[in-house]
Structure 1
């Protein structure tokens, strides 16, 4: 098996472990056992548990980003439709990737990892703001702040969805309304020059 294929196999196994048993039981040793490989192979690919968790986080983040980008490209050129497809893509990933929250929680407390997570979030937020800008009267700065708020709301709605408190349709409708109304707003009077 090639190095890249082995890495993908290990990540697939690790995601299944998190999905079935939670992130706390995922270690490099338990991954080696579950994947049927020697410990040095796993250590060679990831080095440490935080590196493994970060690789999983990146993989899931890339999937979310690809799904959202594809949805945005396929959307009709309409603010509400774009908001709907972005919302639907976000929650499709939330339901398809319930391990995302567990991995994120397991990474908390590591300042190096936090910086990487924040950089990925910033990149997604900036992409989202750029995608929504043609449909908004807001300045780029004001729209970026709205995207920060929208992503915070999306994360909370995703948690509600994953614990069964709301349906996917409820989550999509709420986030669609929030995005569409947020980007339709006029910038505050003091924001016109930004």
Structure 2
């Protein structure tokens, strides 16, 4: 995976609180057996009417925000069900970061483990960022992951990241890749564990062979 030290992009304000994962990725787009095609389903009922026509008033349908890659969102973004498809759909749509005052707990874990950056700021800062995002002439946001800072026209702020999440972005790792950085320690633990309790080594394979 690519390393990410900084994320720069055009921002779009999504002024909806408690936007849940069912709205982010509706159930009819979960029928596939892989991750393909989720871009089309992202925020479908907000982007399109019942006839499948694009809603011109929705921010991501406006030509001024067609290239937005950073969402400034309402509180409790990503609440609801645990569907990871919501994260994948956002990434396929071109969203590289979301900035909000709070997130659904499971969505937060899913996003960060898939390296979709979630930045948490105070509501007052979010309000200013939304105003900046609505200004089509000055709606760029710069996020420095290494320094853990964010900058827009009106806002300069710091944010917190768990050390493991910060490492994943800076070193280009997903959750599996991060686990593999501990490969030597894991192998050492396993060897010590089996040396102390040899009857537990490959117990499943041994059981199958007996039958």
**Does the alignment reach a TM-score above 0.5?**
no
Answer with 1 or 2: which has the greater Rg.
2
TM-score (norm 2): 0.28
Judging by fraction of residues, say which structure has more helix. 1
User: TM-score scaled to structure 1, two decimals?
Assistant: 0.30
